[in-house]
Each structure stands twice: as C-alpha cells, then as structure tokens.
Chains A and B, each alone.
Chain A
Amino acid sequence: MTPEDGVAAIRVENLCLELTGGEPVIDDVSFEVAPGEILGIVGESGSGKTTVALALLGFTRPGVSITGGSIHVGGQTIVGQGAGTPRSLRGKVISYVPQDPGGALNPSLRVGDGILDVLRAHQARTVGEDSVRAALSRVELSHDFRRSYPHQLSGGQQQRVTIAMATVCEPPVAVLDEPTTGLDVLTQEKVLAELLRLRDEERMAMVYVSHDLAVVAKIADRILVMYAGRVLEDGPTDDVIELPRHPYTKALVSAIPDFHNPRALHGITGVAVGVGEWPTGCAFAPRCEHRLNRCEEAVPELLVTAPQHRARCWRWQELTTNGHPAAVVRPSETTVPPMPLLEVSGLEARYRSGRTDRPAVQRVSFAVEQGRCVALVGESGSGKSTIGRCIAGLHVPTAGRILFEGDELAGHARSRPLQIRRRIQIVFQNPFESLNPRHRVGSSIERPLRVLRRLPRSAAEQEVGQLLERVRLPKRLEERFPVELSGGERQRVAIARALAARPDLLICDEVTSALDVSVQAAVLELLQELRRELGLSMLFITHNLGVVACIADSVLVMDRGSICETGPVGTVLSAPSHDYTRRLLEAAPCLRESAVGVGAP
C-alpha cells in the first residue's frame, strides 16, 4: 500500500496558503494518499490541519487564499494549473464529513431528501429510492431512516447520515474533519469501524483530521503531524507512535493518557504559535527542550528518517529513542482508608426539560475519602454530571442524602452555610462558557475571595496574583478578558477561581474534554500537583478512561443513572467485572493497543 503502486488518490504538492495580509497560514505542505489508505492529520488547535483539509476540496475560509502548489484528487486537478471548478468535483470525486453532524444536517430536510439532494447535484434527476437505500445501508442504517428528521437521530446516527451523504456518489476520496469529536466512545468506535469498512471494501482513500492522536492511531495507516502550518513528521502509524522522530510528536505521544499502562503525563509547555507570529526558525523551537541555536535561525528541512518516514528536525537521530515515559506510581491501595469527607447515599435526581421528566440518577451511593480522588465515569446522559451538580448545590435531588463530614447538605447552595459553600468547589466542562466574558480574569477570581472568604478588597487583589501563579499563569493575565485567552488558559483560570475559596473538595466536571490532548495533559498535571500540595479531595467526572487511569484512586462506572461497577482504578481498568465497563474499555482509543493491531494495513 505504498503511494508508488498505482495512481495516488490524493497528491498535494507544495501547498501554500496565506491570509490577505500576506501572513503565511500553510507553508509548503506535500503528501500523497493511495486508494484504500487512511491518512491521519494530527495537530493542536491552530496548527492548520482543518485549513489543509478544506483546501483539498478547493475551499478556503474567508480571508485565506491558496497562493501556491497543487492538489490533485482522483486524477482531477483541484488546485493548480488547469484546475476545473471545484464545485462539480465536490461530493463526486471528493467529499467532506464535518465535525458537528447536528449542525451540518439541514434540520428541515428529511434524511432521505438530504441524500437525494447530493445525488441530484451530481447525477441525472432520475435517481431514485434505490440509491438512498444503498447509501443508508452502506452505513448500516435501515431504509426507514430516510423518513426521519435529523433531530430524531442520536449523535452517532447523525454522523452516519453525514457519512452516507458523503459517500452516496461513491467518491474515491473523503475528507473527515474530527468526525468523532463530541461522540461517546462506544458510538465513536462504531463510526470508526464503519470508516475502516469503507476503506477496505470500497477502497476509499480518506484524510482523517483530529487533535487526538489516540483516535487517529486507531484508524490511520499513515500519520501526518502538523504544527504552525508545516508538516513536522509524516510516516506509517506504528512507526510514528512507537518511534517518534520529532520532539513535538514525542510530546504529543506522551500527552496521551493510557489506561493499559498509566504513566506520568507531560503537557507541552507554552502555547502553540498562532498565524502571523511564526518564528524565523523551527516553529516548535520556543517550546522544545532540545533546541539548539541552529533551530532558531532557520526552518529545518523535512528529512527522510526511514523509508516512507520524514521529520522536520535537525536532531532527529540523536533524539530518537525507543520506550515510553515511566509508569505512574500510584499511592498504595493498602493504606487504611482515611475518613470519608463526602458521603452520598441513595441519591436520586430527576432531569426536567420542557415536558420530559425522567430519572437522571437512581439510588447512587458512594464516598470520597479525605485526600483521595474518585472518578465518576460514564457516557453522556449517564447522570454523572447531575451527581456533581447535586453535590455542588445546583441540582436538588429528589431522594437520598449527601453528607459532608457527617453533616447533611441542603439541596440548594443558597441554603447551605457559607463554610460549606466555600469548602465544596466545582470546575465546569466548557472553559469557553465558565468565565463571564464581561469580567476581567482578575475580577472573576476575586469574587469567591470576597464572597466566600470575606476578604477585604486589597487582600483579595493581592491573592489573585498568587492564585494565578499557583495555576502557572503569568500575573499580567488578570487584566485580560476571557476572549483573549486560549482554552487551556481559561480552564486554569476556572481552576484558580475554585482554588480561591480554599476548598476541601473539588468537583471537576469533564474539565478536560473541550481541550486539546496536549493541553489536557498539562491541566491534569496541574491538578495532580494541587492534590499533592493542598491535600485536595476530588470528584473527577469524565468519559475518558485514560484520564481516569492517570489521576484517580478509585472509579465508579455509571450506566443509565446507576453505578454498575466500583473499585480501585487498577482493578477496574485491568480486570473489569461488569459487562458495560468491559465495553467501555474495549471502545476507548488507546495508543498501545492500536500500535500493535488495528492501525496496521
């Protein structure tokens, strides 16, 4: 399956894109994808991966234009000398599957009509029900789905419909932009299996764009690592994962939590460079611990490091070492269990929205001991967030008790005593919504100091700086508005706001799920550190089993509102006793497993 045997399905040569102002966005990107091959493009937010993916369809975002290079897809020229109109090729030769299927499907069109629209745009008007049936069966949806509206489908079904629309004209090439981000692991696994089947049975070539190396490793035959608009590394999946040549790739690999083989996570220090602030040398040099003077002077060339493997680093030979970072040393599980700080018994809560009123949590009991981290794991809709909200006093349970140091907590935060409100803090999932966009960072952090700790203004202002330092942010950020911060920085601010209250129990509700993997690692590192230094107890709510392995002492697995398995992390992840836990574990993308098996062509 090398690009040489036969015509490449995609050939991109020296692709360059610029902003209207002349700042480069994509610099000299070249790659090939053979028929029946999946290329994974990996990078952090802002690396240019989506820009490249869209360029494959001859499309650029407003303000960006293609200034050089050529793109050939399925024997047709999309960009470059003699390029035809991309519109007629889209869908027929190359198709696109977007990240958010809910937003990509027209809510007023039935699924079948949506698929017919694509067909009519490219083929004779006479196409009929048979093609729709074939398109739906290709993604294993029954023909009845043609009558459904998008809102009647689950997220996974919606994504399958967008894949059906993308494949209905049987294009030889498909571009997938984060198609499973935002889907449950179990749903994600089904979508990935679908894509692999299309690759094998229809010999489709695919470009799979994602920030999550673990997912890409699971599906791609080859991986292209992008950073600041350039290719940093490009090679066969196993090779890239097992023996990364570029320090950046290495950093990405070690940022991925691995539940088979938990190890200390290392975030990448610093922030990814944005468009228009590229340094003269290697763009990664400012964040690279192996940089030489030479790295900062000129951009390294893309060097061939092995057959089919290229890396853009001067020092790849000396830096390439086998092996992964050391395993995490978990606190021994034999110590006498300390006092429970929080006890939940028989908790029941209902979820009300409009006319629906359904149980969200059913008879849940557990405890969080002093200084321990308990993880609450489950898919979306399993009720795990509702439990966190009940403890924080944001959702009133219908039955059961929540005890904090033996005292029963009132349902509403407002009716709890000040000291309880101070000692229980919550950090929310979406850092883009958890900070008030109209308040400066400093004033957001200052609020709990004033309200919960009753500090006078001057003392509060002083402590804001210390808190920012504590979460590894420069003090000058206190003058900024949240809009000016990156996702990782915002989540750190949200953590600082929670720490401002000097809590004993920190509820972390999916705090890393909206972040890039490298940023996630850095946030987890920070939380671990804070736990050690401040003796925090944590309730860590997440759907990511890899994250659980890195941070938690014990796990509660939730399925449809009740706890189905509980135990120490090591036991639950290595020897799950419940069926549902086993299914979750199998579906979770993980580097080691994929490096051994699935990814290989």
Chain B
Amino acid sequence: MSGRLRFLRTPSGAVGFGILVLVLLVAVLGPYVAPHSATAPIGAPPFTGPSTSAPLGTDFLGRDVLSRLLSGGRSVIGLAAAATGLAYLMGLAIGLAAGYSRSIVDPLLMRTVDVMLAFPPLLFLLVLIAGAGSSVGVLVLGVAVIQAPGISRIVRTATLEVSERGYVEAAVARGERAVAVITREVLPNISAPVLVDAGLRFTFSILIIASVNFLGLGLQPPSSDWARMIGENRAYISLNILAVIAPAAMIAILTIGVNLVGDAIARSLGRSYVPRGIRSPAA
C-alpha cells in the first residue's frame, strides 16, 4: 500500500526523511570513508584549525575531528535505537496486559508504572551507572527502563478503547486465547497512536544517551561518540571551535530529522486514525 509512505508527500516529511537518510548514511558509511583513524593522533599538534589534511582541524589529543565525526554516529543512533526498541518491548507488554486484563493486574501494573515515572530520568540513569558500572548494556537497559512507563500508559489507554470494540468481543466470544486476541485484534489497531509517539521517544533516547556520554559516564575513551566529542573538547572551545560545534550540529540535525518524520507520520495517520462516526457524513 502506498499509504504507508504517504507522509513523504508533506514537505516536512520529505525534508525530515532526507535529513534522516543523510545522517544514517554518515553513521553507517562514515568509518569507511574517514581519511584518518578515529582513535589515533594523526601527528599534527592539538587544536589546529582546518587544514587540507584535517578539514575540521584536530582535537585535544591531535586526532582528526572529521574522522571522529564520521565514525561517531553509530553509537548515538545504535544505542538510542536499541534502548527505544527494548523500551517498546517492555512498554507494550505492560500496557497490553494492563489494558486488556480488566482485573487487579491493571491497577497493580499501573501504580508500579506511576512510581517509576516519579524518578527523575537522568538521576535514575546516573544512580544505575554508579551502582552497576558503566557499560553499553547498562546504558541501553537504563534508558529503556526510563522510557517504558510512558509507553505502557499510552498502550494501555489505546488498548482499553480498542478492547471494547465488537471485533474484539467477537473474538472473545469465540473463546480465543488472550494472546491470539491481543496479537490479531488489538495490536494492529493500536499501532497508530503508538507510532505517533515513537518518534518523540527516539529523540528523547538520543538526547539522554548523549547527555550521559557528554558527562563521560557512558561510553569510555577512546570511543568517538558525538556526545563524548563535545564533552572532551568543550574546555578548549576557543582553540578549535569546530571540534565542539560539528558533533553538536550532527546531534541537532539528527533529532530535528527524527522529529520532522515523526510529526509527518502522525499527521498522515491522523485522518485515517480518527474513528469514523456511526453515520458517515453525507457528502
């Protein structure tokens, strides 16, 4: 169905999609086209300005900023995607169980979720890292746990509404197993509100992972993560401003792209997602 890609027809959808493809290309292909090593000094002094061998200059250790930039996108996007994906697995499971059960399970799950929402997200992550040590696994899990409560609330609300529909009741009356009813009848019909929300969640994952990396608590040296690059070079911003500005710009562009696409998808789903009234209007 061409409907899936309808969001591309809006200007913001097309621009956002273009930006996203560009950033993804940089992240995926970057390491292969980088002129220098991303982790070893290139023999030039630190903080040289732009030159032919290092178009964006060098950083505080004399490494090529461009090469680090080209290979620093994978961790940002990859970690954020993994964390968001894991968050959706947890959020969908909790939300569907709470929304569909109509029993004591619902308030139990939801009050737990409320407690989780009460923690300040960044503080929670920092405490987790302080306790469990800093590793990719902890980072991904931490961000997923922060995101899951919000997702589960949206899923629960959508599930509550959909599970009162006749087609769900018909499946229940057929005696189908709860898992079958949820996957066949409920899940396909809550995808719209869930998708609309997903772009924003992904952006938030990027930003929180970037924050932790910036603070130096996430990925450890000598990794060339964009957020790490900002953190490493921020004290010397007057010496080579590009070493800070360039990775910051990449993160900004990435989040803008994700948001534009998310908005466009939301709007393209918007019209068909609005449930049609009992009596369709006389045209």
A interface list, Cβ under 8 A from B: 19, 25, 43, 45-51, 61, 64, 99, 178, 181, 274-275, 389, 392-394, 413-414, 416, 418, 421, 424-426, 428-430, 432-439, 444, 447-448, 451-452, 483, 487, 494, 497, 501, 514
Contacts and interface: CB of A to CB of B under 8 A. Distances in A.
Given A434-B166, A436-B189, A437-B189, A452 B174 contact: yes
Contact of A428 (B170, B272, B281): B170
A451 B174 CA distance: 7
Contacts of B174: 413, 421, 447-448, 451-452, 501
A196 B277 CA distance: 29
Interface string B165-184: 11101111111110000001
A320 B172 CA distance: 51
Nearest to A49: B282
A343 to B, nearest CB: 20
Nearest to A452: B174
B276 A432 contact: yes
Nearest to B176: A451
13 contacts: A25-B283, A45-B279, A48-B283, A61-B281, A275-B283, A392-B173, A394-B172, A426-B170, A435-B166, A438-B189, A439-B184, A451-B174, A451-B175
B175 A418 contact: yes
Contacts of B275: 432-433
A19 B184 CA distance: 39
B281 A514 contact: no
B185 interface: yes
A422 to B, nearest CB: 9
B51 interface: no
A171 to B, nearest CB: 24
B33 interface: no
Contact of B282 (A46, A416, A424, A451): A46
A430 B272 CA distance: 18
A438 B168 CA distance: 12
Contacts of A424: 173
A64 B169 CA distance: 39
B278 interface: yes
B46 to A, nearest CB: 58
Contact of A421 (B165, B175, B272): B175
Interface string B149-193: 000000000000000011101111111110000001100110000
A50 B282 contact: yes
B167 A444 contact: yes
B2 interface: no
B188 A45 contact: no
A416 B175 contact: yes
A494 B165 CA distance: 13
Contacts of A434: 165-167, 170
B280 interface: yes
B220 to A, nearest CB: 46
A342 to B, nearest CB: 15
B173 A46 contact: no
Most buried by A among B272, B279, B283: B283
A413 B173 CA distance: 5
Given A394-B172, A413-B172, A46 B283 contact: yes
Most buried by A among B173, B188, B278, B281: B173
B175 A436 contact: no
Contacts of B171: 447
A257 B283 CA distance: 27
B167 A432 contact: no
B166 A428 contact: yes
A273 to B, nearest CB: 11
B282 A430 contact: no
Contacts of B277: 432
| Minimum-distance CB pairs A-B, first 3 | A434-B166, A428-B166, A438-B188
Most buried by A among B165, B279, B281: B279
Nearest to A178: B279
A393 B173 contact: yes
A514 to B, nearest CB: 5
B283 A433 contact: no
A483 B276 CA distance: 9
B188 to A, nearest CB: 4
Given A434-B167, A444-B167, A426 B173 contact: yes
B167 to A, nearest CB: 4
A310 B198 CA distance: 59
A47 B282 contact: yes
Contacts of B165: 433-434, 436
B166 A50 contact: no
B170 A51 contact: no
A436 B188 contact: yes
Interface in B40-70: none
B175 to A, nearest CB: 5
B282 A45 contact: yes
Contacts of B173: 392-394, 413, 421, 424-426
A45 B188 CA distance: 29
B273 to A, nearest CB: 10
A431 to B, nearest CB: 8
A79 B261 CA distance: 43
A51 B166 CA distance: 31
Contact of B279 (A438, A444, A514): A514
A42 to B, nearest CB: 12
Contact of B169 (A61, A274, A428, A437): A428
Contacts of A181: 279
B13 to A, nearest CB: 22
A7 B275 CA distance: 44
A237 B41 CA distance: 94
A296 B188 CA distance: 45
A45 B280 contact: yes
B280 A487 contact: yes
Contacts of B172: 393-394, 413-414
